């Protein structure tokens, strides 16, 4: 795999988007592995120096996605076989 | 309703963000000295933002009902051009400034702070500001200033102002006469020179206090708030200050009046003192004190009216030349772009020449002020410290330690930090000097390379590497540079002069091409079997940049191979640049657009869009002409004919509404087509040019400035 930025051999992939990056072009970014509730609050398992390509744009603010809780439209899994 | 991914895409699109300005902000629409309109938007007394008319147009529409994409449309309708970066910058500025109802939030920054908490919590001392502008603020003084203003309102009447001006002029004449008569400003009091010095220092503080009070009262007279004042060490010199940032909300002439009020009070005070000195009989304690007040006031005025530090004279000059942040801009210019221009031997514009002179004077004056401050402190501390040290007994020594602890230690720590930073810069100086010399050497070659069209797409680092690797070769008129049939391992770029390319075919020489500055040759041998395919002769004296095979393959091979495509792309960009709609776009923005715009050819009579269809793209006419037709009352009517550079379909770009007209080719031609989604992507990209935008954002914010006196 080649680095997304300079096309040199890549050393890893961006934790956020999966782009491959070489050691020179790799950047570091904090990353939340998992969040769980406890004691009435939220706790997170975090990595402070996860690989980051510097190209993708991890949103610094949570994005409201209430449409995900809406009931799904009628979807058919019918493959046509009777 | 689209798929979940479509909805996610919509949810994260900044184009859908609905900015809403806070309702409690203060608006002031004003004009500069030359009549240029501008708007001040303030969250009093915290922050004041200056907006141009275009930004005002946008900000006044941020009521939460419009999305960013709607603002783009509104801006487009009003000004006839896309305002991507303007809108993006403005929304970001306003949000970061806390002017929008939803404050900015950065979960990663918060997470980083949790993961790596600072070693020590930030100090919350009473002192604020930087080493050179250390303040001990007193907040909430507005009611006091209001009460004081109510009592002395009469000083702003015309007769009083006239009378004070007369006192000032007569007093100045009297002062000059006293100085010429040999009146000593440092005269001792009761044979004590220390008492004389202390009296002069007290006179200084009296003058500065009156000076600052004059600023505050004048601001109040014009209905401004004066929320903060206090004690300040400005360039290590003790003084007072008042914050009159609220003056940004009134017209420029009143603002200048507020800045001028301080020096004017000094002028009147000095004048009155000088007149009394002239009228009162003989040298006495009173005349000595009055003369010291006059001296202190005139010196304070001189310091304050000097426009090189952030004092009254500077603020007046800034208003006069209508350049917010003049000092900062001038100093930044002197630090960087000025030297680049010198190295490139480029002419300075009038504004740049002004920045260069003003910035240099500011820098020199700043260092001089620090030096003078050290002298000032030395003179004042020595008479106190020395007697304490020689006085027998423990009490005097303890007093001395206390004085040193209170004054010298905090100052030394701050100065030490500053010096540590300078020391680091000095340590790195030899390497920096070496690098600068090298830069000068390769600069000329770099300039030549940057002028070559086909290398414009190369990143700056590659151009620099090429400049370092290139050899310069001068060729005499008539000389053969490469000969057909010989082996070749060099590639040439013409810096100056002209050459002809001659090909021998069937025993006859035929001139096939003429090459001039900016052209290149020799690539075919390198890309092929290493044999020259033609002979190149200089027809004028020439200067060539010569690259060997290794450099050619590492840096240039790909570029040359793709040269034809690059040329085509550049031509496309040039075409785009000529479109009035995009005349403000930077080359980078044009590149972004060029990638997204698809060229769509059309034939005479061919429909590009039909009335009533769902609109999902925007068009700019590239070549040829189109007819815009609309069907009304069952009859088709031609509304207009559009030619190159004109556009249609703009509203459909962002809104789901049917086409209002049918557009058909009047002749054969082509259009640039921008898809709705591509437009959104573009907008997103503009909103993410962080570093670039941060600079613009900073330049827009006039920081709360204060008016300070200096002793």
Q: Chain B residues with CB inside 8 Å of A65's CB?
A: 7-8, 11
Asked if B11's CB is within 8 angstroms of A63's CB, the reply is yes
Q: Helix, strand or coil for residue B192?
A: strand
- Segment B362-378 mean pLDDT: 79
B458-467, B481-490, B613-622: the lowest-pLDDT one: B458-467
Other C-beta atoms lying within 10 Å of the C-beta of residue B34: 7
Residue burial B574-605, b: 16+ Cβ < 10 Å; e: rest: ebbeebebbeebeeebbbbbbebbeeeebeee
Q: Do B8 and A30 touch (CB under 8 A)?
A: no
Are the Cβ atoms of B11 and A65 closer than 8 angstroms? yes
Per CB-CB distance under 8 Å, the chain A contacts of B4 are 67-68
Sign of CA dihedral B28, B32, B36, B42: negative
d(CA B688, CA A24): 23
Q: What is the 3-state secondary structure (H, E, C) of B145-170?
A: HHHHHHHCHHHHCHHHHHHHHHHHHH
| Contacts of B36 by beta carbon, 8 Å cutoff, 6+ apart | B322
How far, in Å, CA of B359 to CA of B333, rounded?
7
Q: The tokens of B425 are what?
A: 């810069």
* Residues of chain A contacting residue B108, judged by C-beta atoms under 8 Å apart: 29-30, 58, 60
Q: Which residues contact B151 (CB under 8 A, 6 or more apart)?
A: none
Collapsed DSSP state (helix, strand, coil) of residue B515: strand
Who wins on pLDDT, B584 or B200?
Answer: B200
Q: Judge whether residue B697 has pLDDT over 60.
A: no
pLDDT for the residue B451: 66
Tell me the shortest Cα–Cα distance from B447 to chain A, in angstroms: 25
**Surface-to-core class of residue B650, CB atoms within 10 Å of its CB (0-12 exposed, 13-18 middle, 19+ buried):** buried
Judged against a pLDDT cut of 80, whether residue B670 lies above it is answered with yes
Question: Do residues B80 and B54 make contact, with C-beta atoms less than 8 angstroms apart?
Answer: no
Cβ separation A48–B8 shorter than 8 A:
no
Q: Do B107 and A44 touch (CB under 8 A)?
A: no
**Proportion of chain B in helix, strand, coil states, percent, rounded to 5:** 55, 20, 25
Residue B585 phi, psi dihedral angles, 5° rounding: -70, 145
For B89, other C-beta atoms within 10 Å of its C-beta total: 22
Residues of A whose CB is below 8 A from B1: 73
Cβ distance of A63 and B109 shorter than 8 Å: no
Among B1, B7, B112, select the one facing A30 at the smallest CB separation: B112
Determine the average pLDDT of the residues in B45-51. 89
Contact B106 A61 (CB under 8 A): yes
Interface test with B, best of A57, A71, A75 (most B CBs within 10 A): A57
Q: Is the pLDDT of residue B250 over 60?
A: yes
- In this structure, of B212-221, B298-307, B366-375, the range with the lowest mean pLDDT score is B366-375
**Given an 8 Å threshold on Cβ–Cβ distance, is A48 in contact with B115?**
yes
Q: A48–B12: do the CB atoms touch at under 8 Å?
A: no
Q: Are the beta carbons of B601 and B669 closer than 8 angstroms?
A: yes
Rounded to an integer, what distance in angstroms lies between the CA atom of residue B485 and that of residue B525?
Answer: 10
3-state secondary structure of B595: helix
How open is the CA angle B203-B208-B214, to the nearest 5 degrees?
A: 130
Degrees, nearest 5: CA angle B375-B376-B378 = 65
Chain A residue numbers with beta carbons less than 8 Å from the beta carbon of B116 are: 48
Contact yes or no for B219/B260 (Cβ under 8 A): no
* Nearest C-alpha neighbor of B11 from the set A6, A67, A78: A67
Nearest CA to CA, how far is B655 from chain A (Å)? 21
Residue B237: name the closest of B364, B368, B325, B362 by CA. Answer: B368
- From the list B12, B106, B116, which residue is nearest A63 (CB)? B12
CA gap B74, B650 in Å, rounded: 11
B516 vs B146 pLDDT, higher one: B146
Q: How far is it, in rounded angstroms, from Cα B600 to Cα B618?
A: 12
Q: What is the mean pLDDT of residues B140-147?
A: 93
DSSP letter string, B194-232: HHHHHHHHHHHHHHHHHHHHHHHHHHHHTT----EEEEE
- Best residue in B13, B88, B108 for a mutation probing chain A (most A CBs within 10 Å): B108
Q: Phi/psi of residue B164, each to 5°?
A: -65, -35
Q: Is A65 on the interface with B (CB under 8 A)?
A: yes
The listed CATH number (3.40.50.150, 2.60.40.10, 2.60.120.10, 3.40.190.10) that belongs to domain B571-699: 2.60.120.10
Q: Picking from B86-95, B337-346, B463-472, B560-569, which range would have the lowest pLDDT averaged per residue?
A: B560-569
Greatest extent of chain B over all pairs of C-alpha atoms, in Å = 116
Cα radius of gyration (chain B): 35
pLDDT of residue B156: 93
Kindly report the number of other CB atoms within 10 A of residue B8's CB atom: 15
A24 inside 8 A of chain B by CB? no
CB B268 within 8 A of CB B261: no
The alpha-carbon gap from B115 to the nearest alpha carbon of chain A, in Å, equals 7
B514 forms bridges with which residues in the sheet?
Answer: B500
> According to the model, what pLDDT value does residue B564 have?
45
Residue of chain B with shortest Cα separation from A68: B4
Please report which confidence band the pLDDT of residue B398 belongs to, taking 50, 70 and 90 as the band edges: confident
For residue B192, what pLDDT band results from cuts at 50, 70 and 90?
confident
3-state secondary structure string across B443-478: HHHHHHHHCCHHHCCCCHHHHHHHHHHCEEEEECCC
Is residue B78 within 8 A of residue B57, CB to CB? The reply is yes
8 Å CB contact of A62 and B7: no
Averaged over B436-455, what is the pLDDT? 69
Judge: A67–B116 Cβ closer than 8 Å, yes or no: no
pLDDT over 60 (residue B704): no
Which of B451, B459, B433 has the alpha carbon at shortest distance from B493? B451
Classified as helix, coil or strand, B415 is: helix
How far is the alpha carbon of A80 from chain B, nearest alpha carbon, in Å?
22
Residues in chain A: 82
- Does the CB of A34 have a partner CB in chain B at under 8 Å? no
The pLDDT confidence band at residue B568, using thresholds 50, 70 and 90, is low
Q: How far is B675 from chain A (nearest CA, A)?
A: 22
Q: State whether A60 and B105 contact (CB < 8 Å).
A: yes
Below-50 pLDDT ranges, chain A: 76-82
- Of the segments A52-56, B55-59, B499-503, which one has the largest average pLDDT value? B55-59
- Which of B111, B462, B689, B690 best probes binding to A when mutated, by most A CB atoms within 10 angstroms? B111
> Which DSSP helix (H) or strand (E) runs through A35?
strand A27-38
Interchain contact, A32 vs B106, CB within 8 Å: no
Nearest Cα residue to B171 out of B305, B262, B306, B297 = B297
Reply yes or no: is the peptide bond before residue B592 cis, omega within 30 of 0: no
Whether B108 sits inside 8 A of A29 (CB atoms) is yes
Closest alpha carbon within chain A to B6: A67
Nearest CA-CA distance, residue B110 and chain A, Å: 10
Mean model confidence pLDDT for chain B: 80
Minimum distance, in Å, between the CA of residue A11 and any CA atom of chain B: 22
Q: Regarding beta strands B542-548 and B617-623, do their DSSP bridges make them parallel or antiparallel, or are they unpaired?
A: unpaired
| pLDDT at position B706 over 60 | no
Structural element, H or E, at residue B31: strand B26-31
Q: What angle separates helix B68-79 from helix B84-96, to the nearest 10 degrees? A: 130
Q: Buried b vs exposed e over B231-270: b needs ≥16 C-beta within 10 Å?
A: ebbbbbbbbbbbbbbbbbbbebebbbbbbbbbbbbbbbbb
Alpha-carbon distance B375 to B386, whole Å?
Answer: 16
Nearest CA-CA partner of A45 in B249, B115, B91: B115
Q: Does A7 touch chain B (CB under 8 A)?
A: no
All residues of chain B having their beta carbon less than 8 Å from the beta carbon of residue A62 are 107
pLDDT above 80 (res B403): no
Shortest alpha-carbon distance between residue B595 and chain A (Å):
18
Position B709 scores a pLDDT of 35
Q: How many angstroms separate the CA atoms of B260 and B266, rounded?
A: 10
**Residue B3 pLDDT > 90:** no
Helices (H), B234-325: 252-279, 285-305, 312-321
pLDDT confidence bin for B682, thresholds 50/70/90: low
Pick the CATH number of B448-561 from 2.60.120.10, 3.90.25.10, 2.60.40.10, 2.30.30.760: 2.60.120.10
Tell if the CB–CB gap between B108 and A30 is shorter than 8 Å: yes
Nearest CA in chain B to A56: B688
Report long-range pairs for B331-336 (Cβ below 8 Å, ≥24 apart).
Answer: B331/B359, B331/B362, B331/B363, B332/B359, B333/B359, B334/B359, B334/B360, B334/B363, B335/B359
Please check the confidence at residue B388 and state whether its pLDDT lies above 60: yes
Rg of chain A taking only CA atoms, in angstroms: 19
ipTM for the complex shown: 0.76
A64 in reach of chain B (CB within 8 A)? yes
Contacts of B112 in chain A (CB under 8 A): 30, 48
Q: Are the C-beta atoms of residues B532 and B509 closer than 8 Å to each other?
A: no
Q: How far is B684 from chain A (nearest CA, A)?
A: 10
Q: How far is B548 from chain A (nearest CA, A)?
A: 24
Closest-approach residue (CA) in chain B for A58:
B108
* Chain B contact probe: residue of A7, A15, A30 with most B CBs at under 10 A: A30
Lowest mean pLDDT among B45-54, B442-451, B586-595: B586-595
Structure-token match 């789901």, residue found: B656
With tokens 């010291």, the residue in question is B292
Given a cut of 90, whether residue B425 has pLDDT beyond it is no
Half-sphere exposure of B129 (CA within 13 A, CB side): 20
């Amino acid at each position: 795999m080649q680095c997304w930025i300079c096309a040199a051999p890549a050393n890893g992939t961006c934790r956020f988007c999966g782009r491959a990056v070489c050691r020179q072009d790799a950047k570091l970014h904090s990353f939340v592995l998992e969040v769980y509730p406890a004691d009435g609050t939220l706790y997170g398992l975090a990595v402070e120096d996860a690989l980051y390509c510097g190209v993708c744009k991890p949103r610094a603010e949570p994005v409201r996605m209430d449409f995900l809780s809406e009931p799904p439209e009628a979807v058919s899994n019918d493959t046509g076989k009777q | 309703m689209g798929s979940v991914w479509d909805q996610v895409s919509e949810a994260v699109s900044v184009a859908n963000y609905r900015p809403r300005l806070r309702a409690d902000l203060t608006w002031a629409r004003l004009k500069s000295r030359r009549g240029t309109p501008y708007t001040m938007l303030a969250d009093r007394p915290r922050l004041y933002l200056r907006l141009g008319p275009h930004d005002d147009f946008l900000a006044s529409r941020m009521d939460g009902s419009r999305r960013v994409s709607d603002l783009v449309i509104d801006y487009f309708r009003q000004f006839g051009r896309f305002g991507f970066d303007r809108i993006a910058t403005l929304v970001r500025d306003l949000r970061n400034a806390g002017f929008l109802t939803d404050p900015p939030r950065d979960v990663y920054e918060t997470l980083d702070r949790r993961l790596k908490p600072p070693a020590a919590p930030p100090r919350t001392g009473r002192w604020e500001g930087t080493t050179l502008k250390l303040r001990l603020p007193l907040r909430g003084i507005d009611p006091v200033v209001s009460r004081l203003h109510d009592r002395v309102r009469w000083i702003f009447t015309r007769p009083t102002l006239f009378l004070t001006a007369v006192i000032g002029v007569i007093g100045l004449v009297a002062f000059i006469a006293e100085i010429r008569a040999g009146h000593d400003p440092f005269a001792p009091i009761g044979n004590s020179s220390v008492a004389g010095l202390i009296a002069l220092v007290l006179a200084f503080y009296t003058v500065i206090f009156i000076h600052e009070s004059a600023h505050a009262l004048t601001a109040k007279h014009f209905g401004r708030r004066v929320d903060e004042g206090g004690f300040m060490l400005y360039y290590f010199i003790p003084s007072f200050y008042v914050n009159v940032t609220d003056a940004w909300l009134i017209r420029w002439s009143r603002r200048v009046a507020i800045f001028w009020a301080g020096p004017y009070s000094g002028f009147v005070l000095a004048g009155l003192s000088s007149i009394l000195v002239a009228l009162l009989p003989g040298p006495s304690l009173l005349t000595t004190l009055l003369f010291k007040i006059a001296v202190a006031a005139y010196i304070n005025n001189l310091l304050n009216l000097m426009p090189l530090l952030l004092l009254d004279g500077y603020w007046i000059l800034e208003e006069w030349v209508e350049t917010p942040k003049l000092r900062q801009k001038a100093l930044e210019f002197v630090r960087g772009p000025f030297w680049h221009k010198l190295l490139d031997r480029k002419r300075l514009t009038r504004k740049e020449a002004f920045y260069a002179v003003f910035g240099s004077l500011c820098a020199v004056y700043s260092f001089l002020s620090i030096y003078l401050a050290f002298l000032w402190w030395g003179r004042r501390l020595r008479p106190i410290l020395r007697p304490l040290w020689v006085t027998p007994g423990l009490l005097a020594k303890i007093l001395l330690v206390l004085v040193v602890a209170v004054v010298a230690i905090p100052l030394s720590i701050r100065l030490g930090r500053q010096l540590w930073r300078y020391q680091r810069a000095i340590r790195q100086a030899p390497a920096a000097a070496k690098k600068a010399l090298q830069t000068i050497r390769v600069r000329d070659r770099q300039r030549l390379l940057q002028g070559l069209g086909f290398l414009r797409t190369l990143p700056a680092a590659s151009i620099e590497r090429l400049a370092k690797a290139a050899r310069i070769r001068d060729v005499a008129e008539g000389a053969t540079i490469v000969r057909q049939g010989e082996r070749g391992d060099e590639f040439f770029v013409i810096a100056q002069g002209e050459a002809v390319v001659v090909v021998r075919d069937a025993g006859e020489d035929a001139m096939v091409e003429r090459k001039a500055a900016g052209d290149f040759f020799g690539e075919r041998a390198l890309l092929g079997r290493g044999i020259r395919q033609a002979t190149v002769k200089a027809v004028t004296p020439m200067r060539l940049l010569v690259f060997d095979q290794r450099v050619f393959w590492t840096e240039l091979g790909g570029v040359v191979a793709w040269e034809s495509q690059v040329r085509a792309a550049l031509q496309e960009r040039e075409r785009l640049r000529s479109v009035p709609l995009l005349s403000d776009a930077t080359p980078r923005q044009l590149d972004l657009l060029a990638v997204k715009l698809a060229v769509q050819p059309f034939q005479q009579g061919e429909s590009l869009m039909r009335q009533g269809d769902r609109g999902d793209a925007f068009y700019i006419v590239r070549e040829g002409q189109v007819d815009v037709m609309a069907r009304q009352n069952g009859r088709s009517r031609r509304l207009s004919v559009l030619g190159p550079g004109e556009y249609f379909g703009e509203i459909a770009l962002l809104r789901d509404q049917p086409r209002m007209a049918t557009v058909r080719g009047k002749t054969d031609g082509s259009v640039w087509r921008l898809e709705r989604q591509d437009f959104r992507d573009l907008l997103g990209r503009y909103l993410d040019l962080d570093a670039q935008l941060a600079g613009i954002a900073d330049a827009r914010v006039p920081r709360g400035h204060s008016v300070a006196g200096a002793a």
